[in-house]
Amino acid sequence: MIQRLFDLSLQTKIPLLGAILIIISTLSVSSVLMYLTYNDLKEALVTSSEGLGHTLSTTLAPTLLHGDVWRAFEIVRAPFAVSAPRNNIHPDTIVVISPDQKVFVSSDPQTFPMLSDISNYSEIFQATSKSDFSDNLTETSVLEPAGSEFLYILVPIKDGGLFLGTLILTHSRSGLNATFLDAAVQGAILELLVLAFLLPINWYWGQRMAHPLMTLALRMENIRNHPPEQLEIEVYDYRDELGRMFAAYNTMVEVLMEKAALEKKVISSERLAAVGRLTASIAHEINNPLSGMLTALDTLKQRGGLDDRTTHTLGLVERGLLQICDTVGALLVEARPQKRWLEKCDLEDVRTLLHPEIIKSQVQFDFMVDIPDRLPFPAGALRQILINLLHNAIEAAGIRENGWVRSSVVLLDDVLELRVSNNCETISSERLEHLFEPFVSFRAGGHGLGLWVTYQLVDQLGARIELANQSEQIEFIVRLPIPENRGNT
Amino acid sequence: MNMLQNRNNRRFLQVIVLFLTLFVLSGVSLADHEHVRFGVTPTFLHDQHQLLAKWQLYLTKRLGRKVEFIQRDSYQETMDLMRLNQLDFAWVSDYPYLHLRDLVRLVVVPLYHGKPAYRSYLIVSSKDKTTRGYEDLRGKIFAFADPYSNTGYLSPRFEIKKMGEDPESYFLKTFFTWSHRKVIEAVASGLAHAGSVESYVWDTLVKVEPQISNNTRIVWQSPEYGFPPLVAHRLNVQESDFLEMQKLLMEMKNDPQGREILADLDLDGFSIQKPDLYQGVVEMMREFGEYSAP
């Protein structure tokens, strides 16, 4: 049962436990207050009664001295006059006992008739001793007989040291209880008001606390099925532990996303590297016998003496082998260390080489170069990279009206940055994933090796190629760090 | 016509002369003090202060001199004031009158139910259904009104003595309440088992505060006694003042304001009586050795 209670959702548990706590604390506070109130009431009753007793005893002394019953009766009856203020701390009866332990007078002669013996009133008599009605009673005493409905206050009546009698003020507990009940009812009403105020606040606060936690729990539970989502700041915009936990969660989500992206990249580049190695080794394996075959064919043709049919067939075989050679050659990408470094004029050459294509495609072409005259990068590889990227860009932009291509080659600190961007149709993310793989082409007639070759070259130069794909616009960025041991000249 | 006018003129002159005579006489007789001091005892419903104030104002207006009502809580005190020449007039009970008979003289006696007489009622609590008279009250607690009250002290003691008992030991306890009204209260509240009161007070209380008198029941009524009289000090009050006051009181029933006060007092008016009216009380006093012929 308790386990099931603790298994409840926070949405229920927080308000429920809060409500239980509020109710328990309100009840305990009010119980303590009621206990104190009861004691206060009793104390007030005793104090007020003692005061009344003292006043009465002083006024009663002469009547006892002179045996003036009627005056004494008027005095003890005065507090019960119709016009006197009535409350529950008022005594119920006032009795004057003469030293011979008989009722001298009482405010209620029907119950306590004059001259009746005190022993007739067993309850009072049991609670008191005979000495209470003699001059042994020197000061006010309060009697609370166990199980009695009444409480008695005994005041000695003295005049000049002479003991004249005892004044008894009786209080019914029901009067006290009625007053207490009034106070308790008022207290209970107040308590209900407090609860009516606190419980909705508790409910609201519980919901507020539980809602973000529930959202968090839901997101974390689904982390296996879905990529984690960040929590919106509105969910819990405070800097307490909960807020810090949500911030930490968001950071965690960020880190996870980054890690996932990185993993994806690593997998992709590893795959490309593996494909590269496989392709290169196959190409090598094919290239060697191919060279042999072509040399053999060439030798055969030079010897002559072949009939037309054979010559024709050999031609057919040679062209086929040459096509294989072309393809294989393209796959054998290698940025061989070159003696010649990149010069500014190499980039001018690229512009010149591509000029006819630009004219033909009618694209707007911006090309910005800001580099020193010479840089320690292999000129051939860089030219190849730039030509491949620009070629693709011009072709893609050329399909569109108002096609444009922008390119820049800039040296930023120790990094040579190549940028090529163009407008084009938006490329889907699935296609982007396979962009740099061999034999992947975006247009009819392409063999799908241009970007693959570019990727391999960049990779061999120890750099990275990045892709910024926006709506109807794509940009390739290649950052080449300047090799440290070579300087920039 | 002329004759009639002359008669009227003569009458007018007579009135003027009478008025002047009275004025001079009163001026002389009351030279030693300016106002009339009127003692009131608890013979009637003592706490009707408003009624007293009204009556005082009425007398002041009619007498042309300030009348001051001097209230005391016991007959004794009023009697002492009279003896000390502190009062001119007083409304006393029959029993004090007889005590003071050498010092005062009867001015008027109120008419109650058309007669200058009243009785003593023996009352018990209305819860007490068995008591029939004094014979059933042996060893009980008894409330007397005032030691100088006939109906509230002399009459009950006389009745007990008549039974051959000693009034001093017949009851378990007796006490004085110093007013008839309070005797009724003492019996109604249960403080005393029985009490003896004036019929006049009890009957009036039935009309004014029935919630008190309803708690009591009359078990016995005494024979009629002379009603408590209004008396004048023999030395303090000149004959003219005596007559003036007597006349004023006698004529109260003749004007509306006077009738209103009489109605409030539950009296029919006043009468002029002789001391013989109180012969019954004299007999009772003799029984206790309290009356000796002058």
Q: Which class for A386: exposed (0-12), middle (13-18), buried (19 or more C-beta within 10 A)?
A: buried
Do A313 and A264 share a structural domain? yes
Tokens of B32: 């030693």
CA–centroid distance for A304 within its chain: 87
B186 and A CB contact within 8 Å: yes
Q: Can you tell me whether residue B204 is helix, strand or coil?
A: helix
Residue showing tokens 């004023």: B248
Do A349 and A296 share a structural domain? no
A61 inside domain: yes
Closest residue in B to A68 (Cα–Cα): B175
3-state secondary structure A160-202: CCEEEEEEEEEEEHHHHHHHHHHHHHHHHHHHHHHHHHHHHHH
Do A456 and A363 share a structural domain? yes
The domains located in chain B, with CATH, are 32-113+228-287 (3.40.190.10), 120-222 (3.40.190.10)
Q: Can you tell me whether residue A124 is helix, strand or coil?
A: helix
Domain boundary among A331, A359, A392: A331
Q: What is the pLDDT of residue A86?
A: 59
A215 inside domain: no
- Higher-confidence residue of B76 and A278: namely B76
B66 and A CB contact within 8 Å: no
Q: Which domain holds residue A459?
A: 341-481
CB contacts under 8 A, B 126-145 vs A, are 141, 143
Give the residue-averaged pLDDT of A175-199. Answer: 88
Whether A115 sits inside 8 A of B141 (CB atoms) is: yes
Helices (H), B84-150: 94-99
Whether A115 sits inside 8 A of B176 (CB atoms) is: no
* Shortest alpha-carbon distance between residue B126 and chain A (Å): 13
Cα torsion A237, A238, A241, A244: sign: positive
Q: What is the pLDDT of residue A410?
A: 92
Helices (H), A222-337: 241-303, 308-331
Q: What is the pLDDT of residue A222?
A: 81
Distance CA B30, CA A216 (A): 112
Distance CA B253, CA A372 (A): 147
Do A345 and A319 share a structural domain? no
Q: What is the pLDDT of residue A487?
A: 45
Contact A253, A228 (CB under 8 A): yes
Tokens of A119: 């022993």
Give the residue-averaged pLDDT of A261-273. Answer: 82
If we measure between CA atoms, which residue out of B258, B268, B259, B228 comes closest to residue B108? B228
Contacts of A102 in chain B (CB under 8 A): none
Do A18 and A95 share a structural domain? yes
Q: What is the pLDDT of residue B27?
A: 42
* Lowest-confidence pick of A93-107, A262-276, B236-250: A262-276
pLDDT of A455 above 60: yes
Whether A70 sits inside 8 A of B189 (CB atoms) is: no
Give CB contacts under 8 A, 24+ apart, made by A456-462. A456/A276, A456/A333, A457/A333, A457/A335, A457/A381, A457/A384, A457/A385, A458/A385, A459/A269, A459/A272, A459/A273, A459/A276, A460/A333, A460/A334, A460/A335, A460/A381, A461/A335, A461/A377, A461/A378, A461/A381
Tokens of A285: 């394996």
Highest mean pLDDT among A329-338, A370-379, B84-93 belongs to: B84-93
If we measure between CA atoms, which residue out of A97, A133, A128, A132 comes closest to residue A114? A97
Helix (H) or strand (E) holding B231: strand B230-233
Residue showing tokens 């008279």: B133
Whether B175 sits inside 8 A of A68 (CB atoms) is: yes
A228 inside domain: no
Residue showing tokens 């519980």: A206
Q: What is the pLDDT of residue B25?
A: 45
Do A138 and A20 share a structural domain? yes
Provide the CATH number for the domain around residue A450.
Answer: 3.30.565.10
Per DSSP, what are the bridge partners of residue A392? none
pLDDT of B4 above 70: no
Over residues B269-286, the pLDDT tens digits come to 999 999 999 999 999 999
Domain boundary among A156, A181, A206: A181
B182 and A CB contact within 8 Å: yes
Which residue among A68, A110, A115 places its CB closest to the CB of B173? Answer: A115
A13 inside domain: yes
Which residue among B173, B176, B190 places its CB closest to the CB of A110? Answer: B190
Do A367 and A469 share a structural domain? yes
A105 and B CB contact within 8 Å: yes
* Lowest-confidence pick of A14-23, A79-88, A360-369, B103-112: A79-88
* Shortest alpha-carbon distance between residue B170 and chain A (Å): 16
Distance CA A423, CA A441 (A): 18
**pLDDT grade, residue A52 (50/70/90)?**
confident
Do A318 and A379 share a structural domain? no
A110 and B CB contact within 8 Å: yes
Whether A73 sits inside 8 A of B141 (CB atoms) is: no
Contact B187, B178 (CB under 8 A): no
Distance CA A109, CA A175 (A): 21
Distance CA B282, CA B290 (A): 9
pLDDT of A228 above 70: yes
If we measure between CA atoms, which residue out of B189, B191, B186, B184 comes closest to residue B217? B184
* Shortest alpha-carbon distance between residue A190 and chain B (Å): 43
pLDDT of B246 above 70: yes
Do A453 and A474 share a structural domain? yes
Whether B191 sits inside 8 A of A68 (CB atoms) is: no
Helix (H) or strand (E) holding B232: strand B230-233
Whether A70 sits inside 8 A of B175 (CB atoms) is: yes
Closest residue in A to B141 (Cα–Cα): A114
- Higher-confidence residue of B76 and A137: namely B76
Provide the CATH number for the domain around residue A80.
Answer: 3.30.450.20
Pairing between β-strand A93-97 and β-strand B120-125 as defined by DSSP bridges: unpaired
Whether B141 sits inside 8 A of A114 (CB atoms) is: yes
Contacts of B186 in chain A (CB under 8 A): 70, 73
- Probe site for chain B from A63, A64, A71, A73 (most B CB atoms < 10 A): A73
Helix (H) or strand (E) holding B15: helix B2-29
Contacts of A109 in chain B (CB under 8 A): 189-191
If we measure between CA atoms, which residue out of A396, A409, A417 comes closest to residue A472? A396
Q: What is the pLDDT of residue A464?
A: 84
Give me Rg for the CA atoms of chain B: 21
Over residues B144-172, the pLDDT tens digits come to 998 999 999 999 999 999 999 999 999 99
Whether B186 sits inside 8 A of A70 (CB atoms) is: yes
A311 inside domain: yes
Do A402 and A366 share a structural domain? yes
Give the residue-averaged pLDDT of A296-311. Answer: 86
Distance CA A339, CA B45 (A): 148
If we measure between CA atoms, which residue out of A76, A127, A148 comes closest to residue A105? A76
Whether B186 sits inside 8 A of A67 (CB atoms) is: no
CA torsion, ordered B110, B113, B116, B122, to nearest 10 deg: -110
CA torsion, ordered A468, A469, A470, A471, to nearest 10 deg: 160
Whether A70 sits inside 8 A of B190 (CB atoms) is: no
A220 and B CB contact within 8 Å: no
B277 and A CB contact within 8 Å: no
Contacts of A100 in chain B (CB under 8 A): none
A193 inside domain: no
Contacts of A113 in chain B (CB under 8 A): 141, 190
- Higher-confidence residue of A277 and A368: namely A368
Q: What is the pLDDT of residue B44?
A: 62
pLDDT of A394 above 50: yes
Contact B121, B115 (CB under 8 A): no
- Higher-confidence residue of A249 and B10: namely A249
How would you classify residue A439: left for phi > 0, otherwise alpha for psi between -120 and 50, otherwise beta?
left
Q: What is the pLDDT of residue A444?
A: 63
pLDDT of B135 above 90: yes
Over residues A415-440, the pLDDT tens digits come to 999 999 998 887 777 777 777 877 77
pLDDT of A489 above 60: no
A78 and B CB contact within 8 Å: no
- Probe site for chain A from B124, B153, B175, B182 (most A CB atoms < 10 A): B175
Number of domains comprising chain A:
3
Helix (H) or strand (E) holding B141: strand B141-144
- Higher-confidence residue of A237 and B214: namely B214
B190 and A CB contact within 8 Å: yes
A147 inside domain: yes
A192 inside domain: no
Distance CA A404, CA A361 (A): 10
Q: What is the pLDDT of residue B28?
A: 41
Give the whole-number percent of chain A exceeding pLDDT 70: 91
Give the whole-number percent of chain B exceeding pLDDT 90: 66
Give the whole-number percent of chain B exceeding pLDDT 70: 86
Give the residue-averaged pLDDT of A454-471. Answer: 84
Residue showing tokens 């086929």: A320
CB contacts under 8 A, B 155-174 vs A, are 172-173
Closest residue in B to A66 (Cα–Cα): B175
What distance, in Å, lies between the first and last C-alpha atoms of chain A?
81
- Higher-confidence residue of B1 and A394: namely A394
Highest mean pLDDT among A106-110, A157-161, B48-52 belongs to: A106-110
Do A366 and A277 share a structural domain? no
Contact B196, B156 (CB under 8 A): yes
Over residues B12-66, the pLDDT tens digits come to 556 555 554 444 444 444 444 578 999 987 666 656 788 888 999 999 999 989 9
pLDDT of A485 above 70: no
Give the residue-averaged pLDDT of B169-179. Answer: 92
Domain boundary among A181, A209, A225: A181
Contacts of A68 in chain B (CB under 8 A): 175-176
Give the residue-averaged pLDDT of B123-147. Answer: 93
Do A360 and A299 share a structural domain? no
Cβ-based contacts under 8 A for chains A and B: 33
A115 and B CB contact within 8 Å: yes
Q: What is the pLDDT of residue A47?
A: 87
